[in-house]
Structures are given as structure tokens and as C-alpha cells.
A and B are shown apart, each in its own frame.
Chain A
């Protein structure tokens, strides 16, 4: 039995014709669709007709577009290559206009390729679209007509949504950043790297001894900087010649800087570099501990060193008086006699052992101690940070005397192991 269902709204008539599931029961649902017809009075005089394919396409188009109007999120277009749907709805020029695009077989003519025909474009207002949607919705909700046709309302997945900004626009900041980095890198490529001369404690300690002879800058004798002690013990191994040579370079640069300040720009770069070097040297030499934070602040030994200075005020003046600096200056006049060195070694060990008290240090402490031929200790130098920290707890600072009886001197290595064992040996090895 043929059944006709009609969904009527002011701007849309949807008429569905089909067959009952059970021909004898007039109440059985319409399950076989014969024809679907959609009239849009007020929008177009044409009547859209089609079979199941047309109806399915209409339902899908209305579904998608209705949701797009509600959320403002447009659904991704179908993959290229797939044939355009029979019914499609597109937004118009303004937000109140919509376009219903239908590709359908003209009635009564021979079947032709539908894609070759120009599609039927029907402009709709929002209210007209709503009526179309509502007619479709009523059909979908109607369990007596095509029960297998149900609404498939789904949110658009996050993956399918086009980002609000095109890729080019999103990539612009990153590209700009990369370009700026490249430009900066290129520009800085031509700038010579600053010549960094780490502050050499040993080098500064040389200065007082040489000041009288070689200092062209008229610097005041460099004051001992106890904070730098032990910061860079490895530089103490610097050969005396090297240190002197460096110092001379710095002095020369400083001198040229002071005379060439009004020179042309070509020289200024060099002068600047030299100035920098000189400033580093002078600064670390002239200034007291408070300005040396840059070199010492990274280690906790700074404050401890300050305390140790307060505890044993003898260290600083003694060392400065002897010109030993924050490291010991290279020996000028070494003791040559092996017997004398052995005696001094024994003497030093005895002196320290006599006064040695148990230490809390958890590492081995190593010092370089300088003795005169008479056995007076004229200076010492801790060889690492721990040694510097614990120096005031050892008897060595107390043994330092200002008395300089003999120009001949010798260095000794004093090691206090964490177990409290005292080892004393000549710095340059036992004499033959």
C-alpha cells in the first residue's frame, strides 16, 4: 500500500512517498521509499525530488550545516576527488544568507551526467533554512516513516577542524624568530671573540716583586687577595717566565691604551680589548675582597675566607709583607743543599705536628709552604678550595713569621689527610 507522509512548515513542504512494511496493516511504518519531494515556497518554485540518495544527501547536508550555524565551526570539506554531494548547503555572503545547492536529474528528460549540469542554487534565509531543517528533523524523529533513517548528530572532531589561523600565519612568528637568530649569528660572526684572560693569582703575586723594575703603569704594589686563594690553584704551576711575560703584555697594552685614546677607530677595537685585559688585571689586583665577588661568589668559601681572615689577622699582613701574594711567588733563590732541605723538612714537620689539632675537614688538605734557610716560614698557599677553607684551623698560619733572615728559600708540600696524618715533603722532590 502506498503511503504518503507530508511535513509542512511555512517555508518548506517535505513529502515522502513509499510502501508500508506490511501491506495489510495501515499502521505499519513506511519502510520503502519511492519518492521524496521538497518544496520551498518563498525561496524557489522548483520542486526538488529524488529517491533515497537524494533524501540521504539532504539529511546529511542539513545536519552538517545546522550544526555549523550553531557552533560556528565549519566542517572540513570532503576529500578532493570524491564526487560532490547531491545536496549541499553553503554559507552566503552575509550571515543571514545560505545557499542550497542541488544537483538533480531534471524530470522527464533522458538521464544525463548530473555533474555536467549546472547545479541548482537556491538562496535561503535563516528562517527558511530552519524550516527545511525542522521538516527533516520531524522526518528523522518520526518512527512511522523510514525508521532506519535516524539523525547522526556528532560533534566535529578536534583533528578535523582547521585551525583558526592559516599555517603561514601561525608559522610566521617562528620563522621571524629563526631569521632574527640567523641574522644575529651572522652579524656576531664578524665580531672577534673577546679575549678572556682568567685572573691568574700567581701572576698577580709576581707583581710586587717586579713592580719596582717593570711596571709601566705605576700601579701600586698589588695587595694580597686572600679570597682568590685556591680558586685556581692549577695556574700556580705556571712557569715564572710565562707569568712575567703575560704581565708585561698587559702593562704594554695599558700603556698604549693610555696614549692612543685619541687614535682613529681602527685602533680603538684593539685598544678596547687591551683595555679590557688591563682592567681585569688592575681591578683584581687593586680592589679588595669585596669587589672580587665575581670570581669567588660561586663558591661558599667566600664568607668562610672572610672569617678566616678575621680569625687570623696575621695571615694577610704576613703574606703581603713577604710579597707572597695569594699564591707564592716563584722562588728566586732556592736552597741548593740537600741536607739543608732535609733538615728544614724535619723542622717543618716537627713544628706543625707539635701544634696540630684534630681537624673536621673531610678531604685531604694540601698546602705549599715556603721556608727560609733559617727555618722561618715566610708564606704558604692552599692548593685547593677545601684547603683554603680549613687553613685557619691548621697550625700553619700561626707559624708564619715576618722575619726574613735569608734570601734562600725552599718550598715544601704539606699534606693533612682526612685521617689526620701529616705528610711533609720538599716541593721539588727529595734532593739526591
Chain B
């Protein structure tokens, strides 16, 4: 097992696999990264290689299968997500979000200013771009018939989700961000 994963303690879960909420959360955070960064999916794979996690995330297909454990997905996989795979994804997410911190801060501050002035998000070019791309990704990949997806049927709800994910990316970009994200995945799940 890669050394970097040892920094994350394995939670005491009733079952050995990742809980449902954790799988959804990880996939959505990766989706937000993709919407932020055009080369996001490529960056995930290269980060996995850089951190010597390619033993856990074995290439593009494997990553896709892992992300498809999200039950909201159009082509959702029934395979479980192991704790080690989840750890690897958490490390990759916080690593990428650290690289994107500056951009994330800009977008969040921009959104705050627009809200204060009661303007729509379209006035911030980069923010509108992110929101638009997130909506496109989300609608292309999520199963519109799932109850969890129906809740995000409008543009406003999706923008809210995108901004919430942006905040969460910011929160897990700090020095202890990896641990915080990892621990938050199992809130209300540990025995």
C-alpha cells in the first residue's frame, strides 16, 4: 500500500466498503475539478502517477469505474469502492485543489461580490464559465431519473451545488485538508 495513504486512518465502518455518501461526494468533487480545469481528468491521472498511487488507480478506465460507483451516475457501477481507493481519490482531490487554490479563491470572492451587489453570476466571466461547464458535465453524466439528480434539475440548483463544491474544494486544499476531507466522508457513518 502506498505510504501516503497511511496518513489517513481507516474508519471503523460497519461494512468494509465506502458508504454511499462518500462515493457521491468524491465523484462530485472530481467533477468540479474537471469543470475548473480543462485538463482536469488528465491531471488526476498524472497526480496519481506522481504520488505513486497508480497501484491503486490503475489508469483511465479504472478511474472511470471508480467514479462510476457514484449511484447518481448514468452508467453507475455496482462494484464497491474500497477504502484504499477512496483514500487515493481523497489524496488526489486535495492535491489538485491545492494547485487550484488561487482560482478557487478568486471565483468564491467574485461570487460573493456579485451576490452582495445582487448581480447574476454571468457578470464574472470565469465564474460563469465554471458554472456552465459544471452544469454540462453534470447533465451529461448523471442519470436524470434518479431522485438525487432530479433535485438538481434547474440551473439555479446546479449553480448552488457547483459553488458549494467550490467551497468544499477550498476547505480541503489546506495543510490538513486531506485529513479533513477524509474524516468528513464518514460523518455519521462510523460505529
- CB pair A155 B183 closer than 8 Å: yes
Cα distance, A160 to B181, chains bound together (Å): 19
Q: How far, in angstroms, from A104 to B164 measured CA to CA in the complex?
A: 32
- Asked if A153 and B183 make an inter-chain contact with CB atoms under 8 angstroms apart, the answer reads yes
Q: Does B37 contact A (CB under 8 A)?
A: no
- Does residue A43 face the partner (Cβ distance < 8 Å to B)? no
From 59 to 104 in chain A, residues with beta carbon under 8 angstroms from any chain B beta carbon are: 66-73, 95-96
Q: Does B76 belong to the interface (CB within 8 Å)?
A: no
A302 contacts the other chain (CB 8 A) = no
Contact assessment for B179 and A158 in the assembled complex, using a CB-CB cutoff below 8 Å: no
CB of A113 to closest CB in B, whole Å: 35
List B residues 76-118 near A (Cβ within 8 Å): 105, 108-109, 111-112, 115
Shortest CB distance A3–B (Å): 21
Q: Does A24 contact B (CB under 8 A)?
A: no
A158 near B190 with CB under 8 A, answer yes
B72 within 8 A of A: no
B144, CB-defined interface residue at 8 Å: no
Q: Quick check: B171 and A69 within 8 Å, CB to CB?
A: yes
Cβ contact within 8 Å between B175 and A141: yes
- Residues on B with beta carbons closer than 8 Å to the beta carbon of A133: 171, 174
Instruction: From known contacts A155-B190, A156-B187, infer whether A70 and B176 are also in contact, taking CB-CB under 8 Å.
Output: no
Specify which chain A residues have a CB less than 8 angstroms from the CB of B176 in the assembled complex.
Answer: 137, 140-141, 151, 153
- Give Cα distance in the complex from A156 to B11, angstroms: 11
Instruction: For chain A, residues 112 to 169, give those with C-beta under 8 angstroms from any C-beta of chain B.
Output: 125-127, 130, 133-134, 137-138, 140-141, 151, 153-158, 160-161
Determine whether the beta carbon of B185 is less than 8 Å from that of A71: yes
Check if B189 is an interface residue, CB within 8 A of chain A: yes
Q: How far is the CA of A133 from the CA of B171 in the complex (A)?
A: 8
- On whether A73 and B187 interact (CB within 8 A), knowing A95-B164, A126-B167, A133-B171, the answer reads yes
**B-side contacts of A140, CB under 8 Å:** 176
How far in angstroms is the closest Cβ of chain B from A132?
11
With a cutoff of 8 Å between Cβ atoms, the chain A residues found around residue B167 in the complex are 69, 95-96, 126, 130
Q: Is the CB of A155 within 8 A of B180?
A: no
Cα of A130 to Cα of B173 in the assembled complex, Å: 10
Q: Which of A67, A70, A96, A130 has the most CB of B within 10 A?
A: A70
Cross-chain contact of B108 among A66, A126, A153, A157 (Cβ < 8 A)? A126
Min CB gap A68→B, angstroms: 8
Which secondary structure dominates chain B's binding surface? helix
B187 in complex: contacting residue of A71, A96, A127, CB < 8 Å? A71
The number of chain A residues with a CB under 8 A from chain B is 29
Residues on B with C-beta less than 8 A from A66 are 171, 180
Given the complex, which residues of A lie within 8 Å of B171, measured CB to CB? 66, 69-70, 130, 133
A157–B109 contact, CB under 8 A? no
Chain A residue contacts of B185, Cβ below 8 A: 71, 155
Whether B168 sits at the interface, judged by CB under 8 Å, is: yes
Bound Cα distance from A73 to B176, whole angstroms? 19
- How far is the CB of B110 from the nearest CB of chain A, in Å? 11
Cα–Cα, bound, A151→B184 (Å): 14
Q: Enumerate chain B residues within 8 angstroms of A157, measured Cβ to Cβ.
A: 188, 190-191
List residues of chain A with CB within 8 A of the CB of B112: 96, 125-127
Do B164 and A70 touch across chains, with their CB atoms under 8 A apart? no
Q: With a CB–CB cut-off of 8 A, which chain A residues contact B177?
A: 137
- Min Cβ gap A150→B in Å is 10
* Residue B162 lies at the interface, judged by CB distance under 8 Å to chain A: no
Given contacts A66-B180, A96-B115, contact A156 B175 (CB under 8 A): no
In the assembled complex, the CB of B78 is this many whole angstroms from the nearest CB of chain A, namely: 24
- Which residues of A have CB within 8 Å of B172? 70
Please report the C-alpha to C-alpha distance between residue A137 and residue B173 in the assembled complex, in whole angstroms: 11
Residues of A within 8 A of B174 (CB): 130, 133-134, 137-138
Give which listed residue, B25, B108, B189, contacts A158 with CB less than 8 A.
B189
Q: Which residues of A contact B152 (CB under 8 A)?
A: none
- Residues on B with C-beta less than 8 A from A95 are 160, 164, 167
Which residues does chain A contribute within 8 Å of B105, judged by CB atoms? Answer: 127
> Nearest Cβ in chain A — how far from B68, in angstroms?
22
Task: Give the CA-CA distance A140 to B21 in the complex, in Å.
Answer: 28
Q: Which residue of B lies closest to A127 (CB)?
A: B108
Shortest distance from the beta carbon of B38 to any chain A beta carbon, whole Å: 24
Q: How far is the CA of A155 from the CA of B25 in the complex (A)?
A: 15
8 A-B residue pairs with Cβ-Cβ distance under 8 Å, sorted by A, are A67-B184, A95-B160, A96-B111, A127-B112, A141-B175, A151-B179, A155-B190, A158-B188
Q: A66-B180, A67-B187 are in contact. List 18 more A-B contacts (CB 8 A).
A: A69-B168, A70-B168, A73-B188, A95-B160, A96-B163, A125-B108, A127-B105, A127-B109, A127-B112, A133-B171, A137-B175, A140-B176, A141-B175, A141-B176, A153-B183, A155-B184, A155-B188, A156-B188
